[in-house]
């Protein structure tokens, strides 16, 4: 296992090939494209001998890996943004049909307006599909999550989405260890499916269910996802045993930073954690006791782990690169629901920022930490409503009159 | 549109024939020995299709012809709904449904998986090198919503036989027009009325679209000639790559005829030239079924409620003339007049 300076997409492509999927479906979309191009290159060099489908759309990229998975294959595809939306209909069936597949999503905003840059609105809009959702902070984690994703998908018989921030991680070059296939065999043995489309043992898959059965077939993936934390914990623990890299606290569900003595915490998904950790270091120099909680998993929602991690802080700032229009940040909403039962629940403030690649600087986050710290002793029910959701980067000067304040 | 009345116009059934009854009753008397055994059926009776359902007959012919070493992919549609109500299934072969628009995409993945297994020498799949991969899809899934998926499957050359059971509308959702609905047909989205003679767009030429993709073998068939249809299924399975067979599958409910007349309706479609039966190889028509003394199209139209509004008015007469002209032109192109 050699450490190399690699581009994020190349590193993920190598990781996928190391996991040796039987079928890969490829359709390009920025900023994911480098991943499937990387696999195509490896196939052209003879380093990958599975089926590489140059498919006609994301819709059929998802459809074909669903078919391949039903046939008993280990499968992979990748996408971003509107491509993920085009996959959405078939993806929603994968959990109900208990078909494992791994999907790398290079996170990107969704039209309109058209934008190719990073945020998490694409992944959040699939949150109800029954997919496990993993989020990576850096390229190494994106590589390792790819491998963990295969393991978790095949154990749970559920689809797994491995998220990595578009451009911030896909197009950055970092030193990365990509495990060689021989090393992976121990961690990721060949997929042995329970049920396949075997002609000698005919099965009906994807039947139509009437009301007397539909609820139960929907309850099962929900329950399996609720209990998926154990599988993720086992996978990350074994990953550490085999490869020596550890993924944080709470059985791999969370990564925490300087949280021990913190009065306030910043909750953040994905690559923004790096900036946030730097900002926290600066804020600490100013005497502000702030820590970071980074969920590595959004589905299943790591509610218990978050309650435990945040139970002792007075205020939480959720730095969120997504918005559910007409409501708020999806991660913030779910976090608030989790914290509601705590006897001394902290103030939770939603910062909507970094949308479609707008740069979030260390100084921005340091300022947020200071503001949050100053308000930390405000009881949640006394916090002004307008302070619960803040758009720190909003350019009021270019808003239309109808929505100006 | 369903015909409630029996063929003779009465609403009373004929006297039950006692001789049949006695024979059946005798069999039932020895109930221990009498059992339905459909273990070997590729598509078993007991599904939920309407009586006289053309597509159900098609399904049986397809899987019986293909045999047990078969995987069927079925998009959403009437045949999926009637054949797979969990926990029952009429399918005796391996079968998968995913969504409406993606059966060819799913089939691409299934076929690719087996190709991958074979190349990688997976022992457990050694016996499966000759698996028949079949998409069995209605016209809505083929002509309309699944067209991109089908185009991709053709283009990539997957070894999949695509059988389109063509009943010329969206039947299980209440008879809406599809890209296969013929001109003049009344559907719930092309209703006939003072300002409408029903569907006003031509039927999409799917066989030509398949052939234009370079599909080696393309054929049309009618449920009224199962021997011909099954030969075409067999031929489509032999082809090393995609093949397309489109079979006219009359729908008593959607078309408005009695369920006992399904085969006859298929026959009339062929005899009037409405549904020409031909094969294309490498994009060229290589055989076309000759129709001797081709009947006027009225013989076909007048038997179905979906065309009943065309009779008895000038607009309808013009529409029938236009339909006849199209049929004549097509018959000449294909050289089917004998």
- The number of CA neighbours under 13 Å toward the Cβ of A178 is 22
Classify strands B70-73 and A254-257 as parallel, antiparallel or unpaired.
unpaired
Name chain A contacts of B71, Cβ cutoff 8 Å. Answer: 71, 197, 199
pLDDT, average across residues B227-242: 98
Name chain A contacts of B96, Cβ cutoff 8 Å. Answer: 67, 70, 197, 204-206
Name chain A contacts of B38, Cβ cutoff 8 Å. Answer: none
Phi, psi of B200 (to 5 degrees): -115, 5
Q: Which of A20, A77, A206, A214 to mutate to test the interface with B (most CBs of B within 10 A)?
A: A206
User: In chain A, which residue's Cα lies nearest the Cα of B76?
Assistant: A208
Determine the distance in angstroms separating the CA of A137 from the nearest CA of chain B, rounded to an integer. Answer: 32
Q: pLDDT value at position B157?
A: 98
Name chain B contacts of A50, Cβ cutoff 8 Å. Answer: 116, 120
Determine the distance in angstroms separating the CA of B94 from the nearest CA of chain A, rounded to an integer. Answer: 4
* Among A71, A90, A207, beta carbon nearest to B84: A207
Assess whether pLDDT exceeds 70 at residue B128: no
CB contact residues (below 8 A), chain A span 355-394, against chain B: none
* Among A70, A208, A213, beta carbon nearest to B96: A70
Poorest-pLDDT segment among A88-102, A144-158, B8-22: B8-22
Name chain A contacts of B84, Cβ cutoff 8 Å. Answer: 204, 206-208
CB contact residues (below 8 A), chain A span 228-247, against chain B: none
Q: How much of chain B, in percent, has pLDDT values that exceed 90?
A: 83
Assess whether pLDDT exceeds 60 at residue B28: no
Is A213 an interface residue toward B (CB < 8 Å)? yes
Mean per-residue pLDDT over chain B, rounded: 91
Q: Where residue A248 falls among pLDDT bands split at 50, 70, 90?
A: confident
Q: What is the DSSP string of A184-249?
A: HHHHSPPP--SS---TTS--EES-B--HHHHHHHHHHHHHHHHTHHHHHHHHHHHHHHHH-----B
Q: Where residue A64 falls among pLDDT bands split at 50, 70, 90?
A: very high
Contact flag B149-A63 (C-beta cutoff 8 Å): yes
* Among A60, A69, A97, beta carbon nearest to B105: A60
CB contact residues (below 8 A), chain A span 262-301, against chain B: none
The more confident residue out of B127 and B178 is: B178
Q: What is the DSSP string of A286-351?
A: TT--EEEEEESEEES--HHHHHHHHTT-SEEEEEES--BTTTB-HHHHHHHHHHTTSTTPPEEEEE
Q: Which of B106, B125, B160 to mutate to test the interface with A (most CBs of A within 10 A)?
A: B106
Q: Where residue B15 falls among pLDDT bands split at 50, 70, 90?
A: very low
Q: pLDDT value at position B296?
A: 98
Question: What ipTM was estimated for this complex?
Answer: 0.96
Q: pLDDT value at position B36?
A: 59
pLDDT, average across residues A61-67: 98
Q: Where residue A1 falls among pLDDT bands split at 50, 70, 90?
A: low
Phi, psi of A160 (to 5 degrees): -125, 130
Determine the distance in angstroms separating the CA of A92 from the nearest CA of chain B, rounded to an integer. Answer: 10
Assess whether pLDDT exceeds 70 at residue B1: no
Q: Where residue B18 falls among pLDDT bands split at 50, 70, 90?
A: very low
Is A51 an interface residue toward B (CB < 8 Å)? yes
Q: Where residue A386 falls among pLDDT bands split at 50, 70, 90?
A: confident
Assess whether pLDDT exceeds 70 at residue B10: no
pLDDT, average across residues B294-298: 98
User: Using CA atoms, how far apart are residues B287 and B273, in angstroms rounded to an integer?
Assistant: 15
Give tens-digit pLDDT for A329-355: 999 999 999 999 999 999 999 999 999
Predicted TM-score (pTM) of the model is 0.93
Q: pLDDT value at position A182?
A: 84
- Structure-block tokens of residue A212: 């007397």
Give tens-digit pLDDT for A147-178: 999 999 999 999 999 999 999 999 999 999 99
Q: Which of B59, B98, B103, B136 to mutate to test the interface with A (most CBs of A within 10 A)?
A: B98
Is A205 an interface residue toward B (CB < 8 Å)? yes
User: Using CA atoms, how far apart are residues A304 and A310, in angstroms rounded to an integer?
Assistant: 10
Contact flag A73-B117 (C-beta cutoff 8 Å): yes
User: In chain A, which residue's Cα lies nearest the Cα of B146?
Assistant: A60
Contact status, residue B72 vs residue B63, Cβ threshold 8 Å:
yes
User: How far, CA to CA in Å, does A305 sit from each of A270, A300, A310, A314?
Assistant: 17, 11, 9, 17
Q: pLDDT value at position B301?
A: 98
Mean per-residue pLDDT over chain A, rounded: 96
Contact status, residue B168 vs residue B112, Cβ threshold 8 Å:
no
Assess whether pLDDT exceeds 90 at residue B318: yes
Q: pLDDT value at position A180?
A: 85
Assess whether pLDDT exceeds 80 at residue B26: no
CB contact residues (below 8 A), chain A span 55-94, against chain B: 55-57, 59-60, 62-73, 75, 89-90, 93
Q: pLDDT value at position B20?
A: 47
Q: How much of chain A, in percent, has pLDDT values that exceed 90?
A: 93
Q: pLDDT value at position B113?
A: 96
Assess whether pLDDT exceeds 90 at residue A231: yes
pLDDT, average across residues A273-289: 97
Contact status, residue A341 vs residue A311, Cβ threshold 8 Å:
no
Q: pLDDT value at position B40?
A: 77
Assess whether pLDDT exceeds 60 at residue A259: yes
Name chain A contacts of B70, Cβ cutoff 8 Å. Answer: 199
Poorest-pLDDT segment among A86-100, A150-164, A240-254: A240-254
* Among B91, B99, B120, beta carbon nearest to A90: B99
Please list, residue by residue across A373-400, b when 16 or more beta carbons sit within 10 angstroms of its beta carbon and e when fewer do: bebbeeebeeeeeeeebbeeeeeeeeee
Q: Where residue B9 falls among pLDDT bands split at 50, 70, 90?
A: very low
Give tens-digit pLDDT for B162-221: 999 999 999 999 999 999 999 999 999 999 999 999 999 999 999 999 999 999 999 999
Poorest-pLDDT segment among A24-28, A327-331, B124-128, B202-206: B124-128
Q: Where residue B21 falls among pLDDT bands split at 50, 70, 90?
A: very low
Give tens-digit pLDDT for A198-224: 999 999 999 999 999 999 999 999 999
Assess whether pLDDT exceeds 50 at residue B17: no
Q: pLDDT value at position B126?
A: 62
């Amino acid at each position: 296992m050699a450490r190399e300076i690699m581009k994020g997409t190349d590193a993920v492509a190598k990781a996928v090939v190391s996991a040796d999927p039987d079928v890969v479906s490829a359709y390009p979309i920025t900023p994911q494209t480098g991943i499937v191009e990387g696999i195509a290159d490896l196939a052209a060099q003879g380093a990958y001998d599975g089926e590489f489908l140059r498919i006609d759309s994301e819709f059929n990229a998802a459809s074909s890996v669903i078919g391949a998975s039903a046939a008993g294959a280990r499968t992979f595809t990748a996408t971003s943004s509107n491509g993920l939306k085009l996959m959405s209909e078939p993806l929603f069936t994968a959990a109900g049909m208990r078909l494992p597949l791994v999907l790398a999503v290079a996170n990107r905003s969704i039209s309109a307006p058209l934008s190719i840059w990073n945020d998490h609105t694409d992944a959040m809009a699939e949150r109800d599909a029954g997919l496990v959702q993993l989020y990576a902070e850096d390229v190494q984690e994106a590589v390792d999550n790819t491998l963990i994703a295969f393991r978790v998908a095949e154990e749970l018989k559920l689809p797994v989405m491995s998220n990595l921030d578009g451009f911030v991680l896909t197009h950055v070059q970092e030193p990365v260890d990509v495990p060689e296939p021989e090393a992976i065999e121990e961690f990721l043995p060949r997929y042995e499916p329970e049920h396949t489309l075997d002609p000698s043992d005919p099965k009906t898959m994807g039947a139509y269910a009437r009301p007397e059965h539909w609820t139960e077939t929907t309850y099962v993936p929900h329950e399996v996802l609720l209990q998926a934390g154990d599988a993720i914990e086992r996978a990350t623990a074994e990953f550490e045993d085999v490869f020596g890299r550890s993924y944080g606290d709470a059985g791999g569900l969370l990564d925490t930073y300087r949280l021990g003595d913190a009065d306030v915490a910043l909750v953040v998904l994905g690559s923004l954690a790096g900036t946030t950790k730097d900002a926290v270091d600066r804020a600490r120099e100013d005497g502000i006791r702030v820590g970071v909680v980074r969920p590595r998993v959004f589905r299943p929602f790591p509610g218990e782990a978050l309650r435990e991690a945040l139970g002792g802080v007075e205020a939480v700032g959720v730095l969120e690169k997504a918005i559910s229009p007409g409501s708020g940040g999806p991660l913030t909403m779910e976090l608030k629901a989790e914290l509601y039962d705590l006897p001394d629940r902290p103030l939770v403030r939603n910062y909507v920022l970094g949308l479609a690649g707008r740069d979030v600087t260390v100084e921005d986050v340091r300022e947020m930490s200071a503001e949050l710290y100053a308000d930390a002793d405000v009881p949640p029910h006394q916090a002004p409503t307008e302070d619960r959701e803040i758009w720190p980067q909003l350019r009021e000067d270019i808003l239309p009159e109808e929505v100006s304040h | 549109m369903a015909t409630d009345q029996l063929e003779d116009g009465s609403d009373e059934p004929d006297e039950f024939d006692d001789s049949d009854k006695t024979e059946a009753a005798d069999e039932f008397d020895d109930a221990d020995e009498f059992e339905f055994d459909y273990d070997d059926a590729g598509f078993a009776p007991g599904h939920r299709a309407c009586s006289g359902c053309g597509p159900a007959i098609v399904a049986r012919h397809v899987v019986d012809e293909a045999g047990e070493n078969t995987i069927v992919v079925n998009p959403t549609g009437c045949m999926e709904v009637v054949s797979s109500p969990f926990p029952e299934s009429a399918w005796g072969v391996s079968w998968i449904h995913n969504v409406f628009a993606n059966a060819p995409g799913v089939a691409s993945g299934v076929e690719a998986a087996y190709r991958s297994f074979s190349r990688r020498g997976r022992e457990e799949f050694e016996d499966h090198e000759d698996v028949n991969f079949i998409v069995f899809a209605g016209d809505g899934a083929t002509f309309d919503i699944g067209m991109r998926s089908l185009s991709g499957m053709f283009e990539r050359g997957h070894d999949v036989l695509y059988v389109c059971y063509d009943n010329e509308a969206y039947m299980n959702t209440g008879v809406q027009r599809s890209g296969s609905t013929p001109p003049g047909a009344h559907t719930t989205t092309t209703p006939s009325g003072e300002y409408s003679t029903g569907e006003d767009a031509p039927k999409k030429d799917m066989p030509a679209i398949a052939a234009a993709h370079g599909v080696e073998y393309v054929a049309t068939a009618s449920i009224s000639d199962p021997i011909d249809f099954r030969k075409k299924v067999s031929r489509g399975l032999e082809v090393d790559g995609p093949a397309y067979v489109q079979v006219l599958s009359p729908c008593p409910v959607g078309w408005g005829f009695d369920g006992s007349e399904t085969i006859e309706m298929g026959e009339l479609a062929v005899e009037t030239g409405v549904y020409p039966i031909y094969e294309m190889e490498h994009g060229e028509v290589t055989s076309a079924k000759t129709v001797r003394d081709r009947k006027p199209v009225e013989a076909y139209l007048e038997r179905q409620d979906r065309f009943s509004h065309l009779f008895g008015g000038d607009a309808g007469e013009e529409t029938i003339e236009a339909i006849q002209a199209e049929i004549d032109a097509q018959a000449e192109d294909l050289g089917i007049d004998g």
